[in-house]
């Protein structure tokens, strides 16, 4: 079984189309999304529609919840809040209903999916260290769990040879067969923040027991222009070119 895993998309349709084309070419059986489908970018409806078209399994991100009014956006920074308000004006009733219907956690045959953390996912906390990862690693019901939220790829693992310690890896090729449990942040499709502006996506081959994170070029300027044309803050367009 081959899973294709999408990190935070944030309304970036050019990046989403690029990675879905790659996944189709690679023979992906099931597309997964760690949430934050909308917010920041200029094509939220198109991204929702495309995920529905490919039958993606999607969990709810904090920006998705803010756009449906389920999460107070008071703690968002001013640009994120502006984008939430704009997104609310363009989403249709059906889009809102679809976002509302998303679960916080998806548990599949081979893996689990959550937005920020698997432990208490409703808090939308960040996993930035091995310590942050421990509560989620402790409650994993499958050998692999995919998350997003920080927009920075990282893997947190409890290796078979040293199960009492949580290790981390920044390698884009993860041998999950070597670990009891692996928590993988797949980076971001639509707004990478690791100073690499290329779009990110992951593939999980369950037979090979490997998770690979890939980076590919896409038409960044087109999406930057879409953000400016929508009247969204220019900083949201500029950051796409910088990968921050």
Give contact residues for Zn ion (rule: CB under 5 A). Answer: 8, 36
Coil, strand or helix at 75: helix
Using the minimum distance from each CB to Zn ion, give the nearer residue, 10 or 158.
Answer: 10
Using the minimum distance from each CB to Zn ion, give the nearer residue, 4 or 187.
Answer: 187
Using the minimum distance from each CB to Zn ion, give the nearer residue, 8 or 132.
Answer: 8
Task: For residue 79, list its beta bridge partners.
Answer: none
User: Min. distance of Cβ 1 from Zn ion in angstroms?
Assistant: 27
User: Min. distance of Cβ 212 from Zn ion in angstroms?
Assistant: 22
User: Min. distance of Cβ 193 from Zn ion in angstroms?
Assistant: 9
Using the minimum distance from each CB to Zn ion, give the nearer residue, 36 or 223.
Answer: 36
Contact between residue 11 and residue 64 where contact means Cβ atoms under 8 Å apart: no
Instruction: Choose among 243, 238, 234, 231: nearest CA to 87.
Output: 231
Using the minimum distance from each CB to Zn ion, give the nearer residue, 100 or 193.
Answer: 193
Using the minimum distance from each CB to Zn ion, give the nearer residue, 88 or 206.
Answer: 88
Distance CA 160, CA 162 (A): 5
Distance CA 47, CA 9 (A): 8
User: Min. distance of Cβ 62 from Zn ion in angstroms?
Assistant: 7
Distance CA 29, CA 49 (A): 19
Distance CA 108, CA 160 (A): 22
User: Min. distance of Cβ 124 from Zn ion in angstroms?
Assistant: 9
User: Min. distance of Cβ 109 from Zn ion in angstroms?
Assistant: 26
Distance CA 115, CA 237 (A): 24
- Report the DSSP pairing between strands 179-185 and 2-6: unpaired
The encoded tokens of residue 185 equal: 């942040």
Contact between residue 184 and residue 142 where contact means Cβ atoms under 8 Å apart: no
Cα 70–chain centre separation: 19
């Amino acid at each position: 079984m081959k899973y294709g895993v999408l990190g935070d998309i944030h309304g970036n349709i050019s990046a989403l189309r690029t990675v879905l084309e790659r996944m189709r070419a690679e023979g992906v059986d099931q597309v997964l999304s760690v949430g934050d489908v909308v917010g920041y970018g200029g094509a939220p409806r198109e991204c929702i529609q495309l995920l529905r078209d490919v039958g993606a399994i999607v969990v709810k991100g904090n920006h998705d919840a803010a756009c449906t009014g389920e999460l107070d956006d008071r703690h968002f920074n001013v640009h994120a809040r502006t984008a939430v308000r704009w997104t609310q004006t363009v989403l249709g009733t059906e889009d809102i209903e679809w976002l509302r219907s998303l679960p916080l956690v998806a548990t599949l045959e081979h893996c689990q999916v959550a937005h920020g953390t698997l432990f208490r996912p409703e808090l939308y906390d960040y996993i930035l260290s091995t310590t942050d990862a421990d509560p989620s690693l402790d409650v994993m019901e499958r050998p692999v769990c995919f998350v997003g939220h920080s927009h920075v790829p990282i893997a947190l693992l409890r290796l078979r040879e040293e199960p009492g310690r949580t290790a981390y890896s920044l390698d884009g090729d993860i041998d999950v067969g070597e670990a009891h449990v692996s928590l993988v942040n797949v980076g971001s499709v639509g707004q990478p923040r690791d100073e690499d502006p290329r779009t990110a996506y992951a593939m999980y081959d369950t037979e090979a027991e490997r998770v690979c994170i890939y980076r590919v070029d896409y038409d960044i300027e087109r999406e930057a222009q879409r953000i400016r044309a929508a009247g969204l803050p220019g900083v949201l367009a500029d950051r796409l070119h910088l990968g921050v």
